[in-house]
Structure formats: structure tokens, C-alpha cells
Chain A
Amino acid sequence: MCFKTLPVEFDERGNAVLRGGIPNPYDVTVAKPDVDLSEEERRERIESLVARNGHIKDLNMDPVTRIAGALAVHVTADLDKRAYLDSHAQATLFRGYEVILMGRDPRDAIFVASRACGVCGGVHAHAAAYAIEQAMGIAPPPLGTVVRNMTEAAEMGYDNPLHLYLLAGPDYSESVIRSSNPELWPLAERWSCPNEHIHGFKTMSDLMTALNPLTGALYREGLEFTRLSREMVVILTGKYPHPQNVVPGGVSTTVTLQTLNEYHSRLGKIFDYAQRMMAVWDDIPAFFYEADDRYQFVGYRPTTQIDPGYWDDPYAYDATYENCNEWGEKRWSTPGVVIDGELVTTRLTDINIGWEEFVEHSYYEESSTTRFAQDMLGNPLSPYHPWNKRTLPKPGGRDWKDKYTWACAPRWDRKVVEAGCYSRLLMTAMAQKIPDSDFITATGTSMRLLVPKGEVGEREVEWHAPARWNALERNRGRAYHYLFSQLVGLESLLEAYKLMKQGEKRVAALDPSALEKAIPQDERVSVGWWGAGRGWLTHHLVMDKGKITNYQICTPSTINASPRDPWGQPGPYEEAVMNTPIIEDVSDPSRFTSIDMLRAIRSFDPCMPCTTHVHTGEGEVVREVNTCSCGGD
């Protein structure tokens, strides 16, 4: 029984069915999650505190820098109690990619959807390809899937150091510590790094100096390694962030021994660096926890995460929805949902049917439908499921009680779930379903990773699922995910050599003229489950008469930046900020920088360009927009 809120049960054969006898089972007033604090109660509490206390600041940080894209965060901060009483995450950009995809040839989806995000642009091209393949019923040959896995491992190789050293790293640098947390600096000068023998920094203060923006050695090394991994990507894809080699049914990469060697030689440089990265991001949490135990709660959220898995088994993936639970569980990173520390499912169908998106606090008009009451296997679907939604953009004024963001509120089983690349470690560790590997082992509570020898020797490292997910653990998880992804790249490279040895050359299922003929004319419904630098990525597709009739993208930052839902549950950023203690010295209120909030927010690696989007149904949206915008309603 993986669903607690939605009235969905499983029959003896494991098929999902709606519990009988409930009228309007998906109505937001019928299936309600347990909510600790309603929105009204929270607001009343704040208002009474504001009335009694002068030390409450109501501030909007717009823009939040050193994240990707446009994000603003509103906070109500109680400097006496050192707490963030309230928080609102606002995505401040809308472009309407799904609207642009409506009515187009399905072959356009890959290159158009790729442009949804330029921070990890490759992932959208791939997710679109998976959606199209499922709709058209074409599966890539093994080498096609292997090239995709290699590409996507290299993409993570760029993405993780970009975040850790260019975006989040400066929050832990000398320049910030000496200004915002001066009490920590003398401690840092005395604190000997346990991992000095790996990363070479004697004291924490040396390490923090190396994190300084642009001038620090770690910042610069991180930037160089993002370039190296991007070289690996473009060897396979031609360019980046928008790859030019993804096609429905495979890739168009010309794979030769030179291709593999150029990838291999660069990958060989990465493992030593991965050891240093993990050593740095193991020492930083150790220092902060030792310096002040309250850092356990900066960015804290319960262990409630979701991930659809990543990097397919080239022999199991058959592009069907019917077999998705089998091939899904064979992914290098296992799909799964963890609710309050418990792994409740690893089946992609469960992940799909529990998914809903709400727009109470988003700049869209409400419009759910019952167009698809069931998925292709007969499992029940909510009217708020992406295949059923017709949400229409409606720019309007900002109101914390009403609408305040361009992001919508995705929920699974109506619970607030979090997405992250570190979720891959968590799901894979807990599920213990990972394919056999010489380098990667899942133990149930940890991931054991064998780092191949480079200039420094082979070493086994272990990532343990943290008892408490906070900002520091997200960053640590990202550093271990870097190694995990590069080991998947190595495994995939070895598979590519093996296929080449067998004389395998085919990288795509169909040639271009066969592809054109294979476009179905009947109605097809599909979903591409994939991952991004921040975790979860799905593209839901409906096509009919050979053209796209509905297209919806759900990204990890849509999930994490989500606003309140119909039950007043705050989104993950908002919740993490409200759990964050104000540790910086605010005895003089004018010195309040909000660094603790910034550390909490940045630990999610916000990526806003593709977060804001619109789902739509029948291609009527442009007319609707005319009505709602030009009509001035």
C-alpha cells in the first residue's frame, strides 16, 4: 500500500484500483493530507507576533543570485526568536514552451523542449525523446541507449561542480564567513581538516579561502572541470547545453574508437578530482556541525523525496509503458518514492498515478479534466494529473494569500516531496536493485563506490543516507552523486567498447524516412521519465493525428520551488526556509544578511528557467491568453 492520502488500493494482482463508494475521490476536500499547521493558523500566528514584537522583518529577496534563472524569496524573519516565520518562493519567469509545442509535429519536441533549460539542456532533449519513443513505440538499439547514458553522465559531471563551486560554494567561503559568521573564522583557522591528505588544505580556513569566488583555487578548479565534462558531452552531442544528436529512437552520434577514446581519456582525469570533491564536502559539514549544532537544521526537511530513475539498461529498456516497472527498476539509478524515511515504491506506474499538479497560488487559471480517467494499464488517474490538465497562463498581481508565482505545486499522493540528484543515491541505496557493478554497491542504507586508480590510488568510499536532510547534506550528497554519475559513465563506456567489439554500429532504431512514416495517426499518451542535474524530470505527451495535442514538463525545481498547495502545505524551499534557524549574529538587526536562508535555498541547486511552464489542452490557449490579458480581467 503505497498511497495514504489518495483513495487508491491494489487488487490481488497488484493493479491499482480506486477505493469504492467515494464520490469525487480526487476532490481536494475529499482526499486530504495530514497538515500540521494550516495556512490560516500560520498567518494568525505571525500577525499576533508582529503585533507584539518589533524585531520582525518582512523582506523580499529579489533576485536571489547564484542560482540558475529567476527566483525571489520572500521571508518574514523574527530576529528575536531567530526564526523564519514565513517564506514564499516566487518563480518570476514564464515563457510558455508547452504552448509553443502544441500542434507541432512530434519530431519537433526534442529540439524545442531542449530549450526549456540551458543549465542542463541535454536532459530535456532526452526526456522528450523518451516521451516520443513511448508514444510511437520505437526503442533505441543498445548502443543508442549507451551513448545517451554516457552523455548524461558527462552532463552531471559538469552540473555538480558548477553548483558546488560556482553557486553554493561561495556561501561557505572566507569572504562570506568573515563577514556573516565572524565567530566561525577563528575556529576555522584552528580546525585541522581530517581529509587534508586528500584535498591538501591544512585548516578549514585554508579550504574556505579556496572557495572564494573567482579567485579561490577550488572555485577555479571547479570551473575547469565543468569545461572538461562539457568537452566529453560535445564529443558525443556536438554542442552544449542544447545537444544536436538526440533523435527519436536513439542518437545520431557517429561512434568510432576515436570518440570512445576522447571520452575515456577525459573521464580518466575525473576520478582523482572526485576524491578531492568528496573530501571537501565531507569536511565542510563536519566543521559546521562541530562549530554549532544548529547547522543540522539549516535547510532541514523530512526525508520525503521522489525520483523516476536515470540511465537505462540498454537491453531492458523497450520504450513501453506496459513494461515500465520492469525496465525502470533496472536503471542505474532506481526509481522510487521515500516518505518520512520509508521507501514506499520503486514502480514507475505508482510514481506516475500518484502525481498531481495544483495551481491555487500560481499565475494560471484552474482547469482540470477527466479526459483520461485511467492510464494505459487501467490504473486510475487524477483530474490533476499532467495528462488531464489544461492550465492557462494568467499574469496578475502578487498576493501571498492568493497567487504569487509562475511555478505550480506538484505533489505525490498529495504530499510535499523533494527532488534532487542526491535522491538518486537515496533511492538506489534503499532499493538495492542496482545492476551488478564492480564499482557501485547499494547496501540498504548507503552506497559503496569504488574510485578507480588515477594518479592517486584506488579507494572505496561510502555515502550514508543522512539521518537529517539539511543544506550541508544536500551538498555532500551532490559531491557523492558526482562520483556515482561518473562511475555510470565508466560502466557505459565499457559497454560501448563491448558493443563495438561485437560489431554493433546501430545507434538509432529508424532512419529519417522510416521515422516520418512511423508517426502514428491515432491518439497516443506517453511519458518520458528522466533526470536532471537536480533530480526528477518528466515530459508528459499526448498526440493525435500525428501532432502534439498536449505537452507538459515537470522539472525538479518546479517541485522544489512550488508554492502552497490547496491544503496550505508549503513547497520544499518554503518549508526548508521556515525550518532554518537564524544563526548569524543579528544582535544589530541592520547586520541581518539572511545567509542561513540563502544556504538553505541554494542547497537545492535552484534552476528556474524550466520551472515555470504551462500545461494546456486543445490548442485554445492563445485565444484564452488574449481574453485574460488584453481583456484585462
Chain B
Amino acid sequence: MADRSTRSPVRNPRTPAQELLDELGPVTQFHDTTHLGAFGMPSGAMTEDMLSSVATAGTPTRFGPLEKVHAFWFAGMSCDGCSVAVTGATLPSVESLLLGAHPGLPRVVLHHPVINMESGPYYLQPAEQAMAGRLDAPYVVILEGSIADEVVANASGGYWSSTGEEPWGPDGDLRPVTSTEWVARLAPNAAAMIAIGTCATWGGVPSAEGNPTGAMSLMDFLGKDYRSVLGVPVVNVPGCPPIGDNFTETVAAVLYFLQGFGPLPEFDELGRPAWLFGETVHRHCVRGAYYEEGQFAKDFGDPECLVEIGCWGPVVNCNIASRGAIMSVGGCMNAGGACIGCTMPGFPDKFTPFYKRPPGSMASTVVSRMVGSVIRPLRKFSNNNMNREVRWDRQHATPSAFSREKSEPSALAHVNHKFYDALRRSGDTSRNDADVWGKRQDEAPSGGSPRTRA
């Protein structure tokens, strides 16, 4: 197996997906549901039909050509954390997509094991229809979790990760069908293949060093030449877990474009939505300014920059510090958690051992400490001045009983503040000699400056 995962695709033009399908051979038949009766259909209807009364209520407001889109959600070697993250999304929310309640978007017919009412063969019937080209609308495939190397498991008659059974065994016997196989068979005719989460986008923890399953990413599985029927390569929304809103926003952005009113969404060279992953998480970090001023957390729980307790934020593409984790709340560094690079292709093995400072920070923290040692006192000096009312400066007194920090500035500080104010007011137009014609002569001068006008 070691050679299977280290073999270069340059030397082997067949993708792992092609290898698997070559091994399994073509399939010709699907479940015969006539003898199945209602088994696994407790609500007597497919989820799509149950929701359609709401999803298609009244006259649909059409913004573009698409009325509905199927979305097949498959879990490979997954922890279901991406599903959980997406149930937390509200920008837009899953329920609004499913109920056709997000203006302008087609309703999304989601086939998701955690949401759907039907179980067993009925659950997979739409996937069969998609394979047979009989589905009534375009479909996208969403993969959560890494792709297992099922060629290895198949060699001993088993599987690593299966989703349902199909009559694809010898003599039409039912056999477990792996999620990997579903993905391979559905990819060629999909409108888009979307990998959600770091396992599906880059392999993630299941593909970490020492893994027994040969786990890989969707990109690795389908190969660099893969294009959907719309000509799109694999779209990647990473994160472990991803921010739910990053995923639903990406899906929405693609649909805004397809409906004709949205701009062409920009994806970076790894298929990530560029507007979400174009910046390092450090650039929007709520603790980033501590770095600028050279102040670093020493103990877990300290409020300063976390780089020296193991944060990789300055070199990690992510937006959690500005977007928040759920409902715009949270964010790793916001709460005190050091970034371990969970959105990155190098996760986890390029970031371990955790809780250890990145070696690269040795140089940069020295520089920022030097710069910070100059900037911080200057800022503190100005900050002291700004913490005073103009009135207090005039009266040389601060009526605060809270603490001695509000005591009057020293004579030297007072002079320096005056000098600073002079600099600030050097271009102040209130010094021009225009006549303030609406003001009575006996009125007291007002606001804006500690120095009254001459």
C-alpha cells in the first residue's frame, strides 16, 4: 500500500477513480423496488415530495434559468463534523435552501443521510437515477470525509466505508457499495463536485502519516484533468470543521452566477473560494495587533498573541477570526485557541506536535518585539492624552474617583501633549479667518480644541 499512496500521478496516468472502476467493472441494473414495498419509507413519500408543497408554494419568483438542483451528499471517511457545521450555517441556512426560501436561488433537493426521511434502497434511488441519466434536474455531488483506497479493501472482499447496497455483485447479488464508488460513478455527469472539509479537500486526519486505509482527497482521487459537465474542476471548501457559512455561501455564490445576476466566483489555484481563503487568518486576527506591538501569550489563557504557544495563524489561509465559527460568534484565536492549520493541505502532519511554537516565529517575534518596544510607549503616551476630556485639560483636574491612573500629567507630559496637539492642528481649517456669522459675540467658545481661538 505504501507504494500506492506515494506513486506519482505523473508516472501513472490512470487516476485512482479510474483504477477503482476498472476493478469493479460497469454496472447495468439497479434495485428492483417492486418487492421492496414500503420498507424504509415510513412517511410514504420521498423527502423532496414532502417539502415540495412549501418549496414550490405559490408562483415561484424566477431570477434565472434554474428551478431546482439536486445535491447528493456523500460521507467518505468522515466524522460528520462538516454536516454538523452546515446545519449551523445561516448565510444562507440549509433550511432556506431546501425550502426554496432564499430569493433568487433554485430550491436545493438535498439527499443527505442526516436529514432525509427515507432509509435503505429508497434513499439511494435518486442517485441511481442520476447514474442512469434519468434525474429531472442537474445535480452536484458534495463529499464530506476523505476517499478511502477501496482497491485495497476490495482485494480482500471487504470495504472501508460503505453507503447502501446495490445489485452489483456476481449474478446481481446485493453488495455493499462504497461511498468512494458512488463518487466515482457520479462524477462524470455532475454539474459540480464539491469537497467540503479538510478530509475531502486535502485528505485530512484520515490520510495522516501511519493511516491504514490509503485515504486521499477528492482532487487526488479524480485527478487534475477532472472537469464537471459545466467544465468546473473540483471545488474545495476546507476547514476541520469548515465554517458552515463558508460552505453555504460558496454554493450560493455559484448559484447566483448561474442564475445570471451574480459575478463569476473566483477560485484560487487550489479550487478554494478566493474571497474566503485569499488572506491568512492572522490578517484579521483579533490578537494580531499584539503581534505588531511585540506582546505574546506565555501561558495558556493569556490575552496576547498566541504565536509562542503554538499558533500558525500568520501562514494559514482561513477567515474564522473575522467570520466567526457559527452565527458570527467564536473563532479560534478570539477564544484563546492557537491556530493548528486545520484548513491547510499540510494538516495535520505539517503542524505537529501541537502546542509548540512554529520555528519560523523565532525570527519574526524578535523583530516585532523590537519594533513594539518603540511603538508601544509612544502609543501609550498618546492614549493617555486621548483619555482626557478637553475640559479636564483646561481645568487641570480629573473628577474620577476610580483610581490614581487618572491623576494629572506631569509637566513634561503636558508640554509634549501640547506639542502633539500643535502638530495635529497644523492643517486645521478652523484657524482660517472666515466669519462665523451665526454666532453671538458673547457666546463661549465651544469644543474641538483645548486652545481657544484668538
Contact = CB atoms under 8 A, between A and B. Distances in A.
Interface of A: 57, 59-70, 72, 92-97, 99-100, 102-105, 107-108, 110-112, 115-119, 121, 162, 166-167, 170-171, 173, 175-176, 178-180, 212-215, 220, 223, 226-227, 230-231, 233-245, 247-248, 250-256, 259, 262, 363, 393-398, 505-508, 511-512, 515-516, 589-595, 598, 607, 609-610, 614, 619, 621-622, 625-626, 628-630, 632-633
Interface of B: 1-2, 37-45, 47, 50-51, 54, 75, 77-85, 87-88, 90, 95, 98-99, 113-120, 123, 148, 152-153, 155-165, 174, 176, 204-206, 208-213, 215, 240-241, 243, 298-303, 306, 308-310, 320, 324-327, 329-340, 342, 348, 352-357
A395 B330 contact: no
B152 A170 contact: no
B50 A213 contact: yes
Nearest to B157: A397
B88 A227 contact: yes
Nearest to A109: B354
Contact of A593 (B42, B148, B164, B300): B42
B320 A241 contact: no
Given A108-B354, A253-B336, A593 B114 contact: no
A61 B1 contact: no
Given A240-B330, A251-B300, A397-B158, A63 B37 contact: no
B448 to A, nearest CB: 33
Nearest to A219: B95
A65 B206 contact: no
Nearest to A174: B43
Contacts of B120: 59-64
Given A121-B79, A234-B326, A244 B118 contact: no
Contacts of A594: 39-40, 42
A253 B164 contact: no
A103 B349 CA distance: 13
Nearest to B158: A395
A118 B159 contact: no
A61 B119 CA distance: 7
7 contacts: A65-B116, A66-B113, A213-B50, A214-B115, A239-B331, A245-B336, A395-B159
Contacts of B51: 213-215
Given A69-B75, A104-B352, A241 B81 contact: yes
Nearest to B299: A511
A238 B88 CA distance: 14
Contact of A93 (B47, B162, B356, B357): B162
Given A94-B213, A100-B210, A394-B158, 13 more contacts: A62-B176, A66-B119, A69-B80, A72-B162, A95-B213, A111-B354, A119-B79, A175-B44, A175-B117, A239-B243, A239-B332, A245-B335, A593-B38
A632 B155 contact: yes
B80 A592 contact: no
B155 to A, nearest CB: 5
A107 B165 contact: no
A244 B114 contact: no
Given A92-B163, A118-B82, A252-B338, A214 B152 contact: no
B326 A609 contact: no
B337 A238 contact: yes
B176 A398 contact: yes
Nearest to A228: B327
Contacts of B320: 238-239
A84 B152 CA distance: 36
10 closest A-B pairs by beta carbon, nearest first, are: A118-B81, A395-B158, A234-B330, A244-B337, A179-B44, A590-B37, A118-B79, A238-B337, A508-B300, A238-B332
B99 A592 contact: no
Contacts of B156: 394-396, 628-629, 632-633
A213 B155 CA distance: 41
B113 A598 contact: no
A245 B337 contact: yes
Given A97-B205, A241-B241, A506-B299, A108 B47 contact: no
A170 B43 contact: yes
Contacts of A397: 157-158
Contacts of B40: 61, 593-594
**Most chain B beta-carbon neighbours within 10 Å: one of A178, A226, A239, A594:** A239
Given A116-B79, A241-B81, A100 B37 contact: no
Given A231-B330, A622-B210, A633-B156, A112 B113 contact: no
Contacts of B75: 69-70, 93
B210 A103 contact: yes
A123 to B, nearest CB: 12
B45 A179 contact: yes
A99 B210 contact: yes
A60 B45 contact: no
Contacts of A67: 113-114
A66 B116 contact: yes
A7 to B, nearest CB: 36
A166 B95 CA distance: 12
Contacts of A250: 300-301
Contacts of B243: 239
Contacts of A396: 156-158
Contacts of B82: 118
> Which of B1, B81, B152 lies at the interface centre, i.e. has the most chain A CB atoms within 10 A of its CB?
B81
Nearest to B95: A214
Contacts of B117: 65-66, 170, 175-176, 213
A360 to B, nearest CB: 16
Nearest to A173: B43
A215 B337 CA distance: 37
A234 B324 contact: yes
Contacts of B303: 254, 256
Contact of B165 (A62, A171, A226, A237): A62
Nearest to A609: B79
Contact of A239 (B42, B241, B338): B241
Contact of B300 (A95, A243, A252): A252
A175 B42 CA distance: 8
B313 to A, nearest CB: 11
B43 A105 contact: no
B299 to A, nearest CB: 5
A121 B162 CA distance: 22
A614 B152 CA distance: 17
A507 B300 contact: yes
B356 A395 contact: no
Contacts of A96: 206, 211-213
Contacts of A393: 212
Nearest to B34: A590
A121 B78 CA distance: 12
Nearest to A181: B42
A395 B333 contact: no
A227 B325 CA distance: 11
Given A254-B301, A397-B158, A60 B331 contact: no
A516 B356 contact: yes
Contacts of A595: 42
A95 B77 contact: yes
Contacts of A591: 37-38
B42 to A, nearest CB: 4
- Centre residue among B42, B84, B240, B243 by max chain A CB count within 10 A: B42
A505 B165 CA distance: 55
Nearest to A120: B84
A252 B309 contact: yes
A609 B331 CA distance: 25
Contact of B355 (A57, A107, A630): A107
Contacts of A108: 348, 352-354
A240 B241 contact: yes
B87 A223 contact: yes
Given A119-B81, A505-B301, A93 B208 contact: no
B158 A105 contact: no
A506 B38 CA distance: 59
Contacts of B45: 175, 179
A236 B331 CA distance: 10
